[in-house]
Amino acid sequence: MKKHVNMANDVENPTAPAVAAATPVEEKMPESLNTKCSVCRLNFKSVQECLKHELLAHSLQKKIAAKSGGGVESRIKATNKFLNSKDKQEERTKLHNAMAKCHKGQELSGILNLLCMNDDSLGLIFTRIQTCLEKELSVLGVVKIFPFGSIASRLALRDSDIDIFLDASQIPARDLGQSPKHRRLNPEAMATSQQRGAFNRINAVLHRSPLFVDVFAIRAARVPIIKCKHRDTGFSIDINISCPSSRENTQFISELVKSDRRIHELLVFLKLWAKNMQIIGRANMTSYCLITMVIFYLQQENILKSLQALQQRCPIRMVQGVNYTFNLQSKINRPKIPQGRSTVDLIKRFFQFYRGYNFEDNMISPFYGKTIPKKDFTVQKYKDYYIQMLTITQYEEGKPAEPIQLDRCMCVQDSFVLNHNVARTMLPPNKKYFVICLESAANICGNMTKKTDIGETLERLLYETIGMPNPTLEKEVALVLKPIGSNSESNSANGNYDSSQSLSHYLSPSKADLNSIATAHPTVTDPTAILRLWCEHYESAIQKMLCEFYHMDLQTKDTPQKQKRLDNEELGHSWQISASVDLWSNRFFQRTLQQTYWEYQLGQTERLLALRRQDSNFAVQLNAVLSVKIKSDYTSISINVSLPDGAPISSLTKKDPLRKFFNVFRNTIQNYCLKEEILPAENTDKSFKTQT
């Protein structure tokens, strides 16, 4: 019987006389690879047990940690433990020895050759898997198999999955509409009965196949997939039949990678870095999100044009209501990297660009090629976004397209699908951890000099634990390393306070804060004056938070003698604080687009006060001394809380109201947005219209 199976021809080196018999032993993956937990690296007998463990032991814990504001410290500990594991240390030794054999300037190539898949061997492996799928699925009728993702874009690492889009539009549907499994499929992702039936039939065939093991259908996902493992090669496979747009994204990335060797090396190295730092994973960042951020960075360096510009004068290519056309071939649109700029320079500049980037208030938009404030992104101001929302609605036969999720802690707009936030799965603690990783990498790159060995720097980026040798980084990270309910003692900004005597918290100005102050005070150009304004604003905000959010009674205390004056002003203040009602327990800090952070907190205070004023369970007797100390050069602020009788803080129990208050108050300050208070929304809108 003749087989009617059409195969894709867009795989590199897809044809070879003995493909089916070829077994590249050096590229074969270990059998346990697919059943190893991506977080704690435990081995399991099957992929189902592994996924169950990751869900129960890690994903749910991450969500609980996100709600409580914790999780960052555990992430850093887990990453450091992973980097210090026996396997990673052996890998680092091999890499170090390989780079020692490389000629000067070829260290990066040595790293990629050791840790990444060889394109020729990967092509042979895919062709073998393709042949096996052809054999097993031929009983269903005509199917077309297309690779996408890292295998098609030449960005695959040694443990990468193989992503496959299977065009099953010609598989006849059976009467499976009443099947329980059929009903569990995501109806939004698979709009037709034919797709749902084909998904179940493919899943059933692979379950019976001796060539594929660990077959597992994920039905309720945004894009339902069938996960399995090819028995002979050990490679994990993800099959989707309902999202052809994934091929379109891959085609753009593939052409971008082919346009310049340095772009290919940049993307692969950053994937290796993200893998070792455990940035990629559930409730975290995806590889596609990281690639999108690299695309945006290249646009800011004027290496790559915006997608809006790349689509000019191109024929429209609509897929599911989205125009995926682009032109990277013409001379005017081709990426242009300066001749003397190496891949290592691009890596260094990438980390420097995102160091201090304000993810909280801005959206990264590769389509428009610029940073867009979340408050400004509306269908009225951005016509391409509005038009695409209409075309998607038409494709969905009248069902309104969902707007982009701007309320997430991080917003990275898809290069083509303008209502899709590819960073939507990122939880707040994981975003903080990601920022810490960026800061740590930027510090390593910042220590590079002409005499520094490039191989040593690249090795440190991949394997150095997050030790944060930079004092500025330590102060910023200290804000997020202390989980709720823990002791928060540490040294003050001036280094003169005993940790056993007080609870301490540190503030240092972010780039976004300084930009906001410079915008609000255009006549102030002196850096010291800007820093001074920042200190004054935060000192005033802290006092208002104590009074308005927590209804505390404040009495000014004498400033210690060691607090000297500068320009006839005291560097900080001290207050005797007291409270009788617990207004800090169960307080939330999420942001909304309808209210400012300050308005949201005031609303919580009114609600909590009405509920707890007459409730004896929330009656407290809190008395303490709170001091705000400003460093002499205005570069940092320390907040110290001590007992009024001079007793050590260590004498308090972990559940003491003062400890609980301080931990919540610290989160209140961390989530405070200076820009919202000194740059009202109407001023921001006016400035935007003026620029337009």
Q: What is the Cα–Cα distance from 268 to 457, expressed in whole angstroms? A: 16
Q: What dotted CATH number matches 245-463?
A: 1.10.1410.10
According to the model, what pLDDT value does residue 283 have? Answer: 65
When pLDDT is averaged across residues 659-687 and rounded to a whole number, the result is 72
Right CATH number for 120-170+192-242 from 3.30.565.10, 3.30.460.10, 3.40.50.920, 3.30.470.20? 3.30.460.10
According to the model, what pLDDT value does residue 683 have? Answer: 42
Residue indicated by tokens 């210690």: 560
CATH 3.30.460.10 region(s) of the chain?
120-170+192-242
Q: With 60 as the cut, is the pLDDT of residue 353 above it?
A: yes
Q: Are 168 and 202 in contact (CB under 8 A)?
A: yes
Neighbours of 105 (CB within 10 A): 11
Looking at per-residue pLDDT, the higher value among 177 and 366 belongs to 366
Q: With 50 as the cut, is the pLDDT of residue 370 above it?
A: yes
pLDDT bin (cut points 50, 70, 90) of residue 456 is: confident
pLDDT bin (cut points 50, 70, 90) of residue 396 is: confident
According to the model, what pLDDT value does residue 192 have? Answer: 61
User: Helices in 59-192 by DSSP H: which ranges?
Assistant: 60-68, 72-83, 86-100, 107-115, 119-137, 150-153, 180-184
Looking at per-residue pLDDT, the higher value among 53 and 419 belongs to 419
Phi, psi of 228 (to 5 degrees): -155, 175
Span 50-61, pLDDT tens digits? 777 766 666 555
Looking at per-residue pLDDT, the higher value among 591 and 360 belongs to 360
Q: What is the Cα–Cα distance from 536 to 618, expressed in whole angstroms? A: 33
Looking at per-residue pLDDT, the higher value among 309 and 177 belongs to 309
According to the model, what pLDDT value does residue 166 have? Answer: 80
Q: Are 12 and 123 in contact (CB under 8 A)?
A: yes
Q: Are 28 and 234 in contact (CB under 8 A)?
A: yes
When pLDDT is averaged across residues 663-671 and rounded to a whole number, the result is 85
When pLDDT is averaged across residues 407-420 and rounded to a whole number, the result is 90
The model carries a pTM of: 0.58
pLDDT bin (cut points 50, 70, 90) of residue 206 is: confident
pLDDT bin (cut points 50, 70, 90) of residue 251 is: confident
Contacts of 453 (CB under 8 A, 6+ apart): none
The CA-to-CA distance between both ends of the chain, in Å, stands at: 65
pLDDT bin (cut points 50, 70, 90) of residue 690 is: very low
According to the model, what pLDDT value does residue 27 have? Answer: 37
CATH 1.10.1410.10 region(s) of the chain?
245-463
The helix/strand count (H/E) of the chain reads as: 24, 18
Looking at per-residue pLDDT, the higher value among 47 and 655 belongs to 655
Q: What is the Cα–Cα distance from 427 to 419, expressed in whole angstroms? A: 19
According to the model, what pLDDT value does residue 560 have? Answer: 45
Task: Tell me what the pLDDT averaged over the chain comes to.
Answer: 76
Span 71-112, pLDDT tens digits? 677 888 888 888 888 888 888 888 888 888 888 878 888 888
Task: Report percent pLDDT > 90 for the chain.
Answer: 9
Neighbours of 59 (CB within 10 A): 18
According to the model, what pLDDT value does residue 294 have? Answer: 94
Span 578-620, pLDDT tens digits? 998 899 888 887 666 667 888 888 988 998 888 888 888 888 8
According to the model, what pLDDT value does residue 481 have? Answer: 33
Contacts of 615 (CB under 8 A, 6+ apart): none
When pLDDT is averaged across residues 241-251 and rounded to a whole number, the result is 81
Q: With 80 as the cut, is the pLDDT of residue 660 above it?
A: yes
Is 285 in a helix, a strand, or coil? strand
The residue count for the chain: 692
* Bridge partners, residue 227, by sequence: 216, 238
Q: What is the Cα–Cα distance from 472 to 475, expressed in whole angstroms? A: 5
